[in-house]
Every structure is written in C-alpha cells, then in structure tokens.
C-alpha cells in the first residue's frame, strides 16, 4: 500500500520545527490524527472545509481545545501551502477568540500560608518536597515543569547556581540563587537523604516512594494545599494555580524595580531571559494584569511627561 503523501510531508514539517527548538509532542500527535483523517477522506490536498471538519469533530470539546486543534492545523497548512499553492489555510476567525484566564497573583502572606500547609502534609518526604518546591517556584519564577525535571546534579550549592537544561524551545539557562534559597535547598537535600527510600534517585524532587514527582501529583497536591491555606478563588476566572507563582514573581520583580527608580524598560530583556521567554512579548503579557504595576507605570509616564518642555 502506497504511503499517503501527507505522511512524508508531516515528518519533514515536524523535523524542521523540532530542529528549531520546538518539542511539538502534543502537536505531533494531533497532526498524526489529522493526516489519518485526510487519508480516510481520500484527500489529496488540504482544504478549509476538510480542516475545519477535523477541528470540530470532538462534539463536547471546550473552546480552548478546538482553538488549539485549529492552530496546529493552520501551522501545518501554511507549510504545505509553500509546497502546493492549492492548499487552503483555514481562517483563524472561524472560532471565537479565547480569553486568557485572569492570573492569580499571590501575596507574601499567601506564599507563607502555602509553605505552612505543605509542612503539615502527612508524609515527611512529601512535606519537605512540597515546601521546597513551592518556595523555589515563588522565588525563581521558573516553570513547574522545569522544577519537576530538575536533577540533583542541576543544583550547585557551592556556586549558588541552578541549571535548567533543555527547557521550552530547547533552551537552557542558569539562575543565580539567593543565599537563603541555597540554604533551603541544602536543608531539603539533607532531609531527602534521611527519609527517602531511594536516596540515590537522580531527581531533585521526589515522592514518598523515592521516585521523581510528576505533574498530575503536583497539581493535585497543590489544590489540597490552597484549600488548607485558606486561599480561595477571587472570581470564576481568577483561581489559584501553580502558574500563578511564576506570574507573581514577574510582577513583583517589576514592581520592585519601579519602587527603586531603576530603568524598567532596560531591564525587561533580563527578566525575559531569566524566565526563559523566547519572545519579550510574553513577558509584557505577564505584566499586564496587575493594577499596582500599571499604576506605577502610569506614574512614571506622568513624571516623564511633566519633564518635557
């Protein structure tokens, strides 16, 4: 049986984009399903009707999932169109736009309550792991997935450095740790060695069984901790999430810069690099949801306008 031409083209498309640093794990699975759909339809080219038929196939899917499917197909269709001008790229406006969830910004008291709740977890290793994990996310702004993938070898306590290897877009970076963070990690590693059934496990953060923690377990435990810490949603669109710790770090950093009177615009590139953003526009989006930050920016703008002749 002859292989459908879309198969080879999909392999080329994924290979090129992955060479540019995109992991495309989920995109690859979705596009494989889309090509199978095209094969069964006997299609020799991508049309908007064909693409949208596949995008809308899950009848009970959420709007965000349908938009993701559409975005994935549009990327592949644009690639195909460069090779075959007859290829049609489905319009983005076919689906209503998705509104981003309002980020939940944590106060210092909120973080303290989360850490206290983590210390009260039933298993000693879980208590140590989640207290240290939440603290590290709060003071570095790193992605939770990056923290989960950390190995003990990625932490250099003597140098005060933490290495995040092969993260989003295939990039790696190093974070300089505050002495108090170094101290907290040193305490955790000592406690981990005492109570873990697998002290030689290379992962930094581990379950009571001694193996690496996973995203699903972290999400579930964090929900429990927010309840125990008394941290409740501020609205249906603004709920406490792990990602909110990263968002809070970015906002708090820029608020501190404004209060110190430094040139914030000049430092934003450094913040983007620290956060591991491939494009500074994502850093700007992080900063758009804080009334306090927008107020400080407005005051700085008014002051500069007042100095003009």
Choose, from 13, 106, 143, 207, the residue flagged as catalytic: 143
Q: Mean pLDDT, to the nearest integer, of 70-83?
A: 92
In a domain, residue 102? The reply is no
The overall longest dimension of the chain from CA atoms, in Å, is 77
- CA 28 to CA 72: how far, in whole Å? 9
Number of H helices, E strands in the chain: 13, 3
Q: Is 168 a catalytic residue?
A: yes
- Comparing 207 with 95, which gets the higher pLDDT? 207
The lowest-confidence range among 48-57, 67-76, 284-293, 298-307 is 298-307
What is residue 251's predicted lDDT score, i.e. its pLDDT?
A: 86
In a domain, residue 247? The reply is yes
Q: How many domains does the chain have?
A: 3
- CA 212 to CA 145: how far, in whole Å? 12
Angle ∠(245,101,235) on CA atoms, nearest 5: 90
In a domain, residue 137? The reply is yes
Residues 122 and 89 in one domain: no
Q: Is 246 a catalytic residue?
A: yes
- Of 182, 202, 228, the residue that ends a domain is 228
What is residue 202's predicted lDDT score, i.e. its pLDDT?
A: 96
Sign of the Cα torsion 27, 30, 32, 38 reads: negative
Q: Is 243 a catalytic residue?
A: yes
Q: Is 4 a catalytic residue?
A: no
Choose, from 149, 168, 223, 228, the residue flagged as catalytic: 168
- Of 228, 260, 275, the residue that ends a domain is 228
- Of 189, 205, 228, the residue that ends a domain is 228
Q: Is 207 a catalytic residue?
A: no
Closest CA to 192 of 169, 162, 213: 213
Q: Is 143 a catalytic residue?
A: yes
In a domain, residue 249? The reply is yes
The share of the chain scoring above pLDDT 70, in percent, equals 85
The lowest-confidence range among 1-10, 21-30, 179-188, 192-201 is 1-10
pTM: 0.71
| CATH number for position 198 | 1.10.443.10
In a domain, residue 103? The reply is no
What is residue 99's predicted lDDT score, i.e. its pLDDT?
A: 64
Choose, from 74, 243, 267, 300, the residue flagged as catalytic: 243
What is residue 253's predicted lDDT score, i.e. its pLDDT?
A: 87
Range(s) of the domain holding residue 302:
243-306
* Structure confidence by residue, pLDDT tens digits, 114-149: 999 999 999 999 999 999 999 999 999 999 999 999
Residues 247 and 168 in one domain: no
């Amino acid at each position: 049986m002859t292989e459908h031409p879309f198969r080879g083209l999909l392999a080329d498309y994924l290979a090129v984009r992955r060479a540019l640093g995109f992991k495309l794990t989920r995109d690859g699975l979705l596009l494989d399903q889309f090509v199978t759909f095209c094969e069964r339809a006997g299609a020799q080219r991508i049309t908007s009707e064909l693409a949208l038929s596949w995008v809308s196939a899950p009848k009970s899917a959420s709007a965000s999932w349908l938009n993701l499917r559409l975005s994935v197909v549009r990327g592949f269709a644009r690639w195909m169109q460069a090779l075959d001008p007859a290829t049609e790229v489905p319009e983005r406006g076919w689906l209503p736009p998705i509104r981003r969830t309002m980020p939940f910004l944590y106060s210092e008291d909120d973080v303290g309550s989360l850490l206290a709740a983590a210390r009260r977890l039933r298993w000693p290793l879980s208590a140590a792991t989640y207290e240290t994990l939440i603290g590290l996310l709060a003071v570095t702004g790193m992605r939770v997935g990056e923290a989960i993938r950390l190995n003990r070898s990625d932490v250099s306590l003597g140098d005060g450095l933490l290495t995040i290897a092969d993260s989003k877009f295939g990039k790696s970076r190093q974070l300089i740790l505050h002495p108090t963070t170094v101290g907290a990690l040193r305490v955790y590693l000592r406690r981990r060695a005492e109570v873990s059934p697998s002290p030689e496990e290379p992962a930094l953060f581990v379950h009571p069984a001694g193996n690496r923690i996973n995203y699903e377990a972290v999400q579930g435990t964090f929900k429990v901790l927010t309840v125990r810490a008394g941290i409740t949603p501020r609205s249906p669109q603004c709920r406490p999430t792990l990602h909110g710790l990263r968002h809070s770090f970015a906002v708090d950093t820029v608020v501190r810069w404004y209060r110190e009177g430094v040139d914030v615009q000049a430092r934003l590139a450094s913040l983007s690099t620290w956060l591991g953003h491939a494009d500074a526009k994502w850093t700007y989006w992080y900063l758009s949801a804080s009334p306090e930050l927008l107020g400080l920016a407005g005051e700085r703008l008014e002051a500069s306008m007042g100095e003009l002749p």
